[in-house]
C-alpha cells in the first residue's frame, strides 16, 4: 500500500476530538481510508452493510473497473486471456502472479492432470445423498469431505500443504462435478482420462458412458474452457469473501472452499445462471417474445419481487465484459450445433434489446452480466440446468484458492470479525417461567 499525501480528518459535532485518517493508494482504483484505529481512538464503529464502501483486504489478483466494464486478472484484460490462453494457464496466472512459460505450463498441466482422480472411497460418500439432491448440495458436501480424505494437505499455515491442496482442488473439481451429475441420472461415474485437456476431460466425464465413448468437439471444448476462464476470479465477491472469512479462522483449505461453494449457490450470485435460464424458459412457455413487455412491466413493479435475472451487478455499472465474450461464444456454439434459430437465444436477444432501451434499466445502470448468456451456451452443450452453478464453482475454485493463499501469506491478515450496531433489548432479568 502506498501512503497518499492527502489526509482525511474525521470531526464530530459534539466536541469529541477529531481524528486523522491515513489514506492509501492502490496501483489502480479508488484510494482507501485506513480506519483500523477508529474504534480504539473514537469508541465508534463504521456501518456498511453489504460492504458497499469497505475494502476488507489488499489484493494483487483481480481488478474490476465497474464503470468502464473492465476486468483484469493480474493486470491482463479478460478479453486477451479469453482468446490467447487456456484455463490452466489462467489458473497458473491467478495462483502465481505471472503467465507460465512453455516449460512451466507443461509442468503445471502435468501436475494438475496427475491429480484428477478422487479417492475411491468418495463414491461411497456420494451414495449417501438422495438421487434427487441438487448438485450444489452434493458438491458442498463432497468438497468439504475432501478434508477427510487428504490429510496431508489440510494445514493452511503450511505453504506446501496449501500448494498441494490448490492442485488437488483444481484437478478434482471436474471429477466431483461430473460424479454429482452421473449420480443424479443413475449412471456409473466415468474416470478421468489424462490424455485429454482439462475441459475435454470434464466433458467426457459428463457425457461418456461405459457403453459409448464421447468424442470431444473442438468448438464446444473451447466454449467450456472459455466459461471456465471467464468465471475464474472476480475479486472480493460474496463467495470469495466467504472463503477468506472462513479461512481466516485457520480452517483447512477444503473446508474454506466448501464455504465458498455454499455461498455461490445463492440466486443473487452463482445461482443466477440457473435462474436466468429458468426465467427465459418461463417467458418462452408463456408466450415468448410477445410477452416480453408484460414481463418487463412485472420486473419494474417493486411489489412483484420479480427480477430480470442475468442483469445488474454490484460492481459493473456498464456491460459486463464477460457477458460480451459469452455472447460471442453463444453464437459460435449455436452455429456449430446448427441451433442458430434457438428460440431461447432469440428471446434473450430481444429481452436484452428492450431492457437496454428501457429507462428503468438505463437509469439504474443495469446491464447484462455473464449469467445472461452462459446458461444458453451450457444448455446448448447439453449441460442440465441444475448443474450450471456447479460448473461456476468448478471454475471459481482457482480464484478462491488464490485469494485464500494471498490472505494467509499477508502479514496484515487477522481473523475476520465484523462489528455490529446493536439494536436489541438492553439488559434485563430473566422472569420465572410462570410470569412470562
Ligand atoms: N432486475 C430488476 N431490477 C434490478 C435488478 C434486476 N436484475 N438488479 C438491480 N435492480 C434494481 C434494484 O431493485 C434497485 O432498484 P431501486 O434503486 O429502485 O431500489 C437498483 O436496481 C439497484 O439494485 P441493488 O439491488 O441495490 O444492487 P446490488 O448491487 O445490491 O445488487 C445484484 C446486485 C447482482 C444482486 C442484482 O443486480 C441482482 O439481483 N441481479 C439479478 C441476479 C443476477 O443476475 N446475479 C448475477 C450477478 S453476476 C454473477 C456473479 O458474479 O455472481
Query: Tell me: the pLDDT tens digits for 244-292?
Result: 999 999 999 999 999 999 999 998 888 888 888 999 999 999 988 999 9
If one counts every other C-beta atom within 10 angstroms of the C-beta of residue 76, the result is: 16
At residue 114, the 3 state secondary structure works out as: coil
Cα-to-centroid distance, 275 and ligand 1 (Å): 13
Residue nearest to atom 27 of ligand 1 (CA): 314
pLDDT digits (tens, 9 = 90+) for 29-48: 999 999 999 999 999 999 99
Tell me the C-alpha distance between 146 and 168, whole Å: 9
C-alpha cell belonging to residue 152: 496431508
For residue 247, how many other CB atoms are within 10 A of its CB?
28
CA–centroid distance, residue 34 to ligand 1 (Å) = 29
Distance CA 271, CA 136 (A): 9
Between strands 76-77 and 2-3, the pairing is: unpaired
DSSP secondary structure letter of residue 235 = S
d(CA 73, CA 310): 22
- Residue 417: all three cell numbers together: 470479525
Q: Which atom of ligand 1 is nearest to the CA of 269?
A: 52
The phi-psi region of residue 50 (left if phi > 0; otherwise alpha if psi is between -120 and 50; otherwise beta) is left
What separation in Å is there between the alpha carbon of 366 and the centre of ligand 1? Answer: 8
Tell me how far the alpha carbon of residue 309 lies from the centroid of ligand 1, in angstroms.
8
Nearest to 139 by CA among 320, 273, 270, 287: 270
Q: Give me Rg for the CA atoms of the chain.
A: 24
Q: Whose CA is nearest to atom 30 of ligand 1?
A: 314
Predicted pLDDT of residue 110:
97
pLDDT at site 269: 86
377 Cα to the center of ligand 1, angstroms:
22
**What are the pLDDT tens digits along the chain (436 aa)?**
888 888 899 999 999 999 999 999 999 999 999 999 999 999 999 999 999 999 999 999 999 999 999 999 999 999 999 999 999 999 999 999 999 999 999 999 999 999 999 999 999 999 999 999 999 999 999 999 999 999 888 888 899 999 999 999 999 999 999 999 999 999 999 999 999 999 999 999 999 999 999 999 999 999 999 999 999 999 999 999 999 999 999 999 999 999 999 999 998 888 888 888 999 999 999 988 999 999 999 999 989 989 999 899 988 998 899 999 999 999 999 999 999 888 888 898 899 888 889 999 999 999 989 888 898 899 999 999 989 999 999 999 999 999 999 999 999 899 999 999 999 999 999 999 999 9
Atom of ligand 1 lying closest to residue 270 CA:
52
The atom number, within ligand 1, closest to the CA of 50 reads 30
Nearest atom in ligand 1 to the alpha carbon of residue 313 is 34
User: Dihedral of CA 102/103/105/109: which sign?
Assistant: positive
- The pTM of the full predicted model, rounded to 2 decimals, is 0.93
Q: Which residues are annotated as catalytic? A: 313, 371
Residues 374, 224: Cα–Cα separation, whole Å: 10
C-alpha cell at 24: 492509501
> In b/e form, how buried is each residue of 115-144, taking b as 16+ CB within 10 angstroms?
bbebeeebeebbeebeeebbbbbbbbbbbb
Residue nearest to atom 17 of ligand 1 (CA): 364
Name every protein residue with a CB atom under 6 angstroms from any ligand 1 atom.
234, 237, 268-270, 272, 299, 307-314, 364, 366, 369-371
Amino acid at each position: 500500500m502506498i501512503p497518499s499525501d492527502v489526509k482525511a480528518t474525521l470531526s464530530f459535532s459534539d466536541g469529541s476530538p477529531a481524528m486523522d485518517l491515513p489514506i492509501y493508494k492502490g496501483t489502480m482504483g479508488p484510494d482507501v481510508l485506513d480506519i483500523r484505529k477508529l474504534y480504539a481512538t473514537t469508541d465508534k464503529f463504521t456501518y456498511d452493510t453489504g460492504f458497499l464502501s469497505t475494502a476488507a483486504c489488499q489484493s494483487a489478483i483481480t481488478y474490476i473497473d465497474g464503470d468502464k466494464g473492465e476486468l483484469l486478472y493480474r493486470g491482463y484484460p479478460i478479453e486477451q486471456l479469453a482468446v490467447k490462453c487456456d484455463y490452466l494457464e489462467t489458473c497458473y496466472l491467478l495462483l502465481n502472479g505471472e503467465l507460465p512459460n512453455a516449460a512451466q505450463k507443461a509442468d503445471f498441466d502435468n501436475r494438475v492432470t496427475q491429480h484428477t482422480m478422487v479417492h475411491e472411497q468418495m463414491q461411497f460418500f456420494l451414495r449417501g445423498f438422495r438421487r434427487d439432491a441438487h448438485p450444489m448440495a452434493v458438491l458442498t458436501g463432497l468438497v468439504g469431505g475432501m478434508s477427510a480424505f487428504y490429510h496431508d494437505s489440510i494445514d493452511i499455515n503450511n505453504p506446501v500443504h496449501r500448494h498441494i491442496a490448490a492442485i488437488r482442488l483444481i484437478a478434482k473439481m471436474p471429477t466431483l462435478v461430473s460424479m454429482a451429475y452421473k449420480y443424479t441420472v443413475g449412471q456409473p461415474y466415468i474416470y478421468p482420462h489424462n490424455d485429454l485437456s482439462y475441459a475435454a476431460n470434464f466433458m467426457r466425464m459428463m457425457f461418456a458412458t461405459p457403453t459409448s465413448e464421447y468424442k470431444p468437439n473442438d468448438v464446444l471444448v473451447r466454449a467450456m474452457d472459455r466459461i471456465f476462464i471467464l468465471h475464474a476470479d472476480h475479486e472480493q465477491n460474496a463467495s470469495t469473501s466467504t472463503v477468506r472469512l472462513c479461512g481466516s479462522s485457520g480452517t483447512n483449505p477444503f473446508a474454506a472452499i466448501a464455504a465458498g461453494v455454499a455461498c455461490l449457490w445463492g440466486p443473487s450470485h452463482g445461482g443466477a445462471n440457473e435462474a436466468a435460464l429458468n426465467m427465459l424458459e418461463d417467458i418462452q412457455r408463456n408466450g415468448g417474445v410477445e410477452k416480453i413487455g408484460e414481463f418487463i412491466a412485472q420486473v419494474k413493479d417493486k411489489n412483484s419481487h420479480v427480477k430480470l435475472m442475468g442483469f445488474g451487478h454490484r460492481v459493473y455499472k456498464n456491460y459486463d465484459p464477460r457477458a460480451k465474450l459469452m455472447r460471442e461464444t453463444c453464437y459460435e456454439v449455436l452455429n456449430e450445433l446448427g441451433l442458430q434459430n434457438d428460440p431461447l437465444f432469440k428471446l434473450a436477444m430481444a429481452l436484452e434489446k428492450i431492457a437496454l432501451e428501457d429507462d428503468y434499466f438505463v437509469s439504474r445502470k443495469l446491464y447484462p452480466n455473464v449469467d445472461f448468456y452462459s446458461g444458453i451456451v451450457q444448455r446448448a452443450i447439453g449441460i442440465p440446468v441444475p448443474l450450471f452453478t456447479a460448473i461456476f464453482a468448478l471454475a471459481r475454485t482457482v480464484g478462491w484458492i488464490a485469494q485464500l493463499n494471498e490472505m494467509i501469506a499477508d502479514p496484515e491478515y487477522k481473523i475476520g470479525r465484523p462489528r455490529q450496531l446493536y439494536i436489541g433489548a438492553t439488559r434485563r432479568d430473566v422472569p420465572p417461567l410462570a410470569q412470562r
